[in-house]
Amino acid sequence: MTNLDDNYPWGLWIGFDLMAGVALAAGGYTSSAACYLFGMKRYHSAVRPAILTAFLGYALVVVSLHYDVGRPWRLPYPLFISQGTTSLLFEVGLCVALYLSVLFLEYSTAALEWLGQRTIRNLMVKLTLVLTIFGVILSTLHQSSLGALFLIAPSKLHPLWYSQYLAVYFFISSIFAGLSMVIFEGSLSHKYFEDRMDATYLAEHDGVVLGFAKGASFVMAGYLVIKVIGIAMDNHWHLLGTPYGLWFLFELLGCVALPCFLYAIGVRDKNLKMIKWASVIAILGIILNRANICLIAFNWYLPLKDRYIPHWGEVGLTIFMVTLGVVIFRFIVTRQPIFFEHPDYKSSH
């Protein structure tokens, strides 16, 4: 069902479902940190949708891993039976498992309100700050470690994408990926689920979009600076004129610099439409970056006949996972208090 081989043991399911999926699910820790750790309560209405999106994203990553591993019943072995504590992949697996649990607990307040379980719900609310701190720590660890995984392959990854700072690149890019995903998800939700939103959510929507766009613009600008510094430190300027160099410039300028500029102009002019388009470009840019590192720029020197091209089954499963996530998201937001405050709990928020 796959076209994986010894040259490409990681294919579409890792490059897109895991690498890109985890980055785009970073809206959970960025929004909760902004609201609960940095006291930006004006973004409170964005937290529950972002947490739900992140929870579904991580859950589907785990489901995809069951397919990728091939023997899903062996998935718990590295965590509970044969721990490789010196392995980055062990750390990633442990952190993802723990963070998925944290996201479930954070999301559970909405489900418990829907089910009328006041006592347990109040306990979860009291744990919000602890869960947020734990979630930020876990996210910092595994987002960066996903990039650090490729540090063991300097001879396989193209020099323009390989860097000793890959862990830093992955973590910083996850921040603006998460912010962009919150903007994108919020914009679509505002269009298709407006009837499920209360007055507070509708009133705060524009402010959330503008605030997150400003944050994303600053982070993307910083990301651009450290990427340029990385090229300078490795002295890879001469590679920018090669075919792979032009592709690298397209990724960096077209998918990072351009949305960064559009975010900044959109915030200045309060142009929500421009900001929403910038979020789309940024999301596509993150997907492209992870695909480049995991697939396109990996084993870049191999002849075309030996390069990896996803099997239709791999593509089909990926489309199924994305569709499943959208369907479950729709099911939950049309029933549970995600875009509105439950009338029985307004005084306890």
Instruction: Give the least confident one: 61-75, 216-230, 263-277.
Output: 61-75
Residue-wise pLDDT tens digits, 280-324: 999 999 999 999 999 999 999 998 888 999 989 999 999 999 999
Say if residue 237's pLDDT is above 60.
yes
Residue-wise pLDDT tens digits, 49-67: 999 999 999 999 989 888 8
Indicate the average pLDDT of the chain.
92
Residue-wise pLDDT tens digits, 114-154: 998 989 999 999 999 999 999 999 999 999 999 999 999 99
* CB contact at 8 A, 292 and 254: no
Residue that wins the pLDDT comparison between 95 and 3: 95
pTM: 0.93
Domains and CATH numbers, the chain: 15-334 (1.20.1630.10)
Residue that wins the pLDDT comparison between 342 and 169: 169
Say if residue 349's pLDDT is above 60.
no
State the angle between helix axes of 44-69 and 199-234 in degrees (0 to 180), rounded to the nearest 10: 60
* Phi–psi pair at 30, nearest 5 degrees: -70, -45
pLDDT attached to residue 347? 55
Query: Which residues on neighbouring strands pair with residue 157, listed in sequence order?
Result: 298
Query: Which residues on neighbouring strands pair with residue 298, listed in sequence order?
Result: 157
Of residues 161, 126, 128, the one with CA closest to residue 147: 161
